[in-house]
Amino acid sequence: MSTLIRWNGAAATSCVDPFVSVADDEPAPDGDVMISFARFQADGDVLLGQDRRVGVRVGPDDAIEALAYDLPRIAVVALVFPKFRDGRAYSTAMVLRTRLGFAGELRAVGEVLLEQAPFMIRCGFDAFEPADGADAEQWGRAARRFRHVYQRAADDREPAFVARLAS
């Protein structure tokens, strides 16, 4: 079980990950499991029917819409950032939160760096496995780095123009 950082909308906390990552060719142990998108396509119904929580690791080339029917039963969707320059997971996060209405944990995994914190939160991520060794305190400071935002996003922060019009 790895350590991860969770964001609750106001603060970042460090916690132990209750999910066990399972390779595609390994049998699923008892308890909560994190499996690949491909394995979910093959074994998802069986695993979801058992007394456990299931997380799905989604790569940048996986079609997230294929999970739409099962999203209410999936506990965690972990979006993979293969490189910090690859922004496809940001778009996938927005689709999950806004179009597909995913309310579970949305986790950023892979090449996840502290400097990405405010942008990931704006897209709807609420859990992170930082690759750069950042701790929860650093993550919290980075997440609150920008006082104003200029457009609406999945985090529902009020844009600056709305605050300006109200005053």
At residue 39 the predicted structure's pLDDT band, cuts being 50, 70 and 90, is very high
Q: Is the confidence at residue 1, as pLDDT, over 50?
A: no
Q: Is 58 helix (H, G, I), strand (E, B) or coil?
A: strand
DSSP letters spanning 93-122: HHIIIIIS---SEEEEEES--GGGHHHHHH
Residue predicted with more confidence, 51 or 62: 62
Per-residue pLDDT, 2: 63
Q: Is the confidence at residue 90, as pLDDT, over 70?
A: yes
The two beta strands, 3-7 and 54-58, are unpaired
At residue 151 the predicted structure's pLDDT band, cuts being 50, 70 and 90, is confident
> 150 with 161: CB under 8 angstroms?
yes
Q: What is the mean pLDDT of residues 49-72?
A: 95
Q: Is the confidence at residue 57, as pLDDT, over 90?
A: yes
Using alpha carbons, select from 1, 47, 40, 46 the residue that is nearest to residue 24: 40
Q: Is the confidence at residue 155, as pLDDT, over 80?
A: no
